Amino acid sequence: MTVLLQRQVRNRLLRRFPEDAFGLLAPLLEPVELPVKHSLVQPRKLIEHVCFIESGLASMVAESADGKSVEIRHIGREGIAGYPVVLGVDQTPNKTFMQVPGFGLQVATEDFLSVLDHPGVRQLLLRYVHTCELQLAHSALAAAKFNMHQRLARWLLMCHDRIDGNDLPLTHEFLALMLGVRRAGVTDELHILEGMHAIKSTRGNVRITDRNKLIEIAGGCYGVPEQEYQRLIEGPEPEAVRPAGRPGTQYAIIAQ
């Protein structure tokens, strides 16, 4: 039997699993490549797998009956795709797919649900769902009360939180989907942020040149969900589960 070492995972939720619960889950986790556009959750279809994202960026998208769509949140190494199963939901109208390629650890839903019986895991994941709801609430707040370049600054910060380095491989089409605006509008807003010396935008890439300036621009629409995640899920991290390596690191496997 082979077991994944907890100290080597990069997913921030998996690092917080109780040690005994991680021991139960580890043999069930399957390493998977996550290319661009890879589907993680299909709308109105059974959620057959849950994926702990190790690197890359996934989008959760809501669609109207007439085909209009907008990104409602994105998921990186802080979370999991398919998390509605934590609430006893076997399918959702929303879809989730990769916008930035990466790597993940996938487990069949039926196997994952058995680990949810562990009280420490259930508490951890319900807290995670709470932070997801808070992120969605603040997206609504940003859309209603903040201007476009503040909203764009917030989304770029959220991407920066989930992707290593300062280069974000984001297309204008993706940014338009994130903000629910036309592509031309995104180009104008990127120019505003460039004029404030917070970013440098090129084709298919946004480089964060001054994160503190971006936080200043976003104002009150960024930070509260992130602080809540830190408070409820992370806090001081035990030495035994600190991450090792960068994206693409191959996991060491030990035989039992």
3-class DSSP string for the chain? CEEECHHHCCCCCHHHCCHHHHHHHHHHCEEEEECCCCEEECCCCCCCEEEEEEEEEEEEEEECCCCCEEEEEEECCCCEECHHHHHCCCCCCCEEEEEEEEEEEEEEHHHHHHHCCCHHHHHHHHHHHHHHHHHHHHHHHHHHHCCHHHHHHHHHHHHHHHCCCCEECCCHHHHHHHHCCCHHHHHHHHHHHHHCCCEEEECCEEEECCHHHHHHHHHHHCCHHHHHHHHHHHCCCCHHHCCCCCCCCCCCEEEC
More confident residue, 160 or 254: 160
Q: What pLDDT, in 10s, does the model give residues 149-158?
A: 899 999 999 9
Q: What pLDDT, in 10s, does the model give residues 161-198?
A: 999 999 999 888 888 877 777 777 788 889 999 999 99
Average pLDDT over residues 74-98: 95
Is pTM beyond 0.85 here?
yes
More confident residue, 216 or 182: 216
Average pLDDT over residues 109-133: 95
pLDDT at site 69: 83
pLDDT at site 2: 57
